[in-house]
A = this chain, B = another copy of it.
């Protein structure tokens, strides 16, 4: 990630609002294809039009957690030129967790919307 990253647009969302969702978000980007770390960062940034940029430290901490839990597998790419890239592949367990997390997210939305009486 570029040094001195200033907030891209808006004033960055309170990190706690996304808390608990980063694992799911990252797993989501891996559903269709293997990706390397920085690629995931860009995928998320671009998908949200720059509204949300996952922090580097957060992203790699997430990889450590997901790997430890067997939800993703990592392997080094064979770049013959350019810097090394570590790719991540979602496992079957990861897909199952992703599916469940999306359900939980739906339920969470329902609960919060009920409590805030957001129509």
Contacts and interface: CB of A to CB of B under 8 A. Distances in A.
A28 B115 CA distance: 7
A29 B51 CA distance: 30
Nearest to A31: B117
Contact residues of A: prevailing secondary structure = helix
A115 B51 CA distance: 11
A21 interface: yes
A25 B118 contact: no
A109 interface: yes
Given A118-B102, A118-B105, A112 B21 contact: yes
A21 B25 contact: no
Contact of A108 (B13, B29, B106, B114): B13
Interface of A: 10, 13-21, 24-25, 28-29, 44, 47-48, 51-52, 102, 104-109, 111-112, 114-118
5 contacts: A15-B20, A17-B20, A17-B105, A44-B115, A105-B112
